[in-house]
Structure 1
């Protein structure tokens, strides 16, 4: 294949693209601005919410507070403000008037004096995420109160507090700090894969379907240059543009994580990690570009080519959704599955986990192999005579 022809076509397409400053700016800078802004904004909101709900005074309506004055006093000592109960606790929680309501059993005092387990009930809506922290706070305080009273009862009867605990459970979390921070970036693989997969969509569709509509593709295909070389030049231009956009995204992520609040500030985005991220995304850029070239060569108009975008945008989302609903252990075969492989590789890099040579080999082989297969299919379409005929 004539490399000079490929480079000439690629250079021509890039020059044409950069002349259209609006399209160039949207394609090149939308990702570097959008992704960091989203992570910074979401991170700041999440940290503010957690800090506010953990540190601020918690308002807790209590039904039957008169039945357990000691418990109420203990709650107040833990930065919990006791409020009068609503007329209908269930409805108040369901209508989001309160995050939760504590209901104390009318027989609490009698059960207490009899050294029996006194009953209380938390009324909350588990489907509301904003109530999780208040519920956890109140449940923790109630557990602390229960254990404290239980220990005091045992001591009063001359029983060692250890008798109540038949098994002492220790916990050892082997997750690294990097892995825990990686849990905050669960959507990062999807966003990076999406931009690598469809980052050059506007250019790819325009240089084939668009030129076909403008009747400028026919003179180009009529030249002595091999059609495969012409197509490869267009693909190369889109890949270079896509990789440039990804480079800007990775650099902007590095800067945004340095400014991010909380744990995200410690995410490792060093130069070696940035280089590995770009290497991971390179096969997806090739796959996305060749697939879009295949689609653009098989349709009659830009509008028809763009109709495929909604389906293509959904594909990178599938692994993220599947892994959230049904987490699976990392296995070698996963590095050969498009989109899932990129998801796993990016998560490994974010979690600072080592990627073996075998995993790299399977990943790169499968990724570039898929790109080559799509290139061959697109080349066959480029050799059809009716491709040069405008719709």
Structure 2
């Protein structure tokens, strides 16, 4: 029961420390919000905006103007986008020559409309080319000797893969960030407050003390991770993913699966954080070291891909990066068994906790106070 007494003490202090709770919950909420904001920005960039009016500033081309009007353009003599048609346009078109059409506009302010205008003029030019070929007895297919048709064999679109990877990185970084304040306060912070020495005077095994602190940090990490996953997937349900043609699994089953896959890593991260906190010379140093540690999965998330990710999938972080794609994207990837990786991560956590216990058993830890 001594272990659970330490655990209850650490959890009580953590719940009283609003700074630690704010640090944990703020990341859990801000991370998914950042992903949803990115998705909505991408969707807004792909939405077809209203086309600006176009003015025919010189020349005359009734057929071309009719084509542009049918394509949705509005003609206005006061428009900022000017269409200059060469004076010999009709003659050149009738003779089968090339007529010049010039578009004058501010590409910074009207880039979308100008791109659409250029595309429609080129489409009209291709139609004229086909008509000329037919008039001369030439099959239109002669003008297009090769037609390229690209088909995607992947069940997951590239855009969905990128968005899912961004979400996975946030989920993976969560247990590293949410436990920073709790781990630093339970180890180096307690030593600076000079409350560690009286605690060591109690008839309490050092292993129970370390395990109690570890369980408290792991609880904060697991709770923060669960909040991040649930909030993230709920927000993704209300994002603009359908506008991007992206489908992600955001239901309860996906949330439970993602949280379960991250749980063993959360246990290992909590053990490493407790060990680093006991090794740090001060609370400030502990926070610095733990913050630097939190960037490891973020860097791995952007570095590991393809063959490198497949090679790293047998190790912590690499396995989670590859495995979390399955519940989110519905993809099937050959991975090491989850039980084997989870057992390895828990064994590594036990080893780290044993080293932390050895550190706490020595008298040198009190000499740093």
TM-score w.r.t. the length of structure 1 is 0.76
Distance in 2 between the 1:182 and 1:336 partners? 21
Q: From 174, 197, 200, give the equivalent of 1:218.
A: 197
In the alignment, which residue of structure 2 is the partner of 1:92?
none
In the alignment, which residue of structure 1 is the partner of 2:141?
162
SS of 1:13 mapped into structure 2: helix
Q: Residue 79 in 1 paired to residue 72 in 2?
A: yes
In the alignment, which residue of structure 2 is the partner of 1:382?
360
Q: CA deviation at 1:58?
A: 4.3
Is this contact kept in 2: 1:336–1:366, CA < 8 A?
A: no
In the alignment, which residue of structure 2 is the partner of 1:297?
278
In the alignment, which residue of structure 2 is the partner of 1:18?
15
Give the 5 Å matches for 1:284-323.
Answer: 284-322=265-303
SS of 1:190 mapped into structure 2: helix
Deviations 1:319-366 (A, max 9, x none): 33336xxx5257542213443433222233321113556353564355
Distance in 2 between the 1:166 and 1:328 partners? 36
Distance in 1 between the 2:315 and 2:87 partners? 61
Give the 5 Å matches for 1:1-391.
Answer: 4-20=1-17, 22-23=18-19, 25-51=21-47, 54-58=48-52, 66=59, 74-80=67-73, 115=96, 137-138=116-117, 140-176=119-155, 181-263=160-242, 266-322=247-303, 328-329=306-307, 332-356=310-334, 358-361=336-339, 363-391=341-369
Distance in 2 between the 1:246 and 1:238 partners? 12
Cα gap change, 1:165/1:216 in structure 2, threshold over 3 Å: closer, same or farther?
same
Q: CA deviation at 1:120?
A: 7.7
Q: CA deviation at 1:206?
A: 0.4
SS of 2:313 mapped into structure 1: helix
TM-score w.r.t. the length of structure 2 is 0.80
Q: CA deviation at 1:207?
A: 0.5
Distance in 1 between the 2:362 and 2:96 partners? 88
Is this contact kept in 2: 1:68–1:108, CA < 8 A?
A: no
Distance in 2 between the 1:341 and 1:131 partners? 47
Q: CA deviation at 1:175?
A: 3.8
Q: CA deviation at 1:161?
A: 1.5
Cα gap change, 1:233/1:40 in structure 2, threshold over 3 Å: closer, same or farther?
same
Which has more radius of gyration? 2
Cα gap change, 1:177/1:300 in structure 2, threshold over 3 Å: closer, same or farther?
closer
In the alignment, which residue of structure 2 is the partner of 1:87?
none
Q: CA deviation at 1:205?
A: 0.4
Q: CA deviation at 1:18?
A: 1.6
Q: CA deviation at 1:147?
A: 2.7
Is this contact kept in 1: 2:14–2:182, CA < 8 A?
A: yes
Gaps of 5+ in 2: none
Cα gap change, 1:68/1:292 in structure 2, threshold over 3 Å: closer, same or farther?
farther
Distance in 1 between the 2:88 and 2:293 partners? 60
| Aligned pairs, number | 366
Distance in 1 between the 2:267 and 2:72 partners? 57
Deviates more, 1:355-364 or 1:228-237: 355-364
Distance in 2 between the 1:171 and 1:375 partners? 54
Gaps of 5+ in 1: 85-97
SS of 1:252 mapped into structure 2: helix
Cα gap change, 1:47/1:179 in structure 2, threshold over 3 Å: closer, same or farther?
closer
Is this contact kept in 1: 2:326–2:333, CA < 8 A?
A: yes
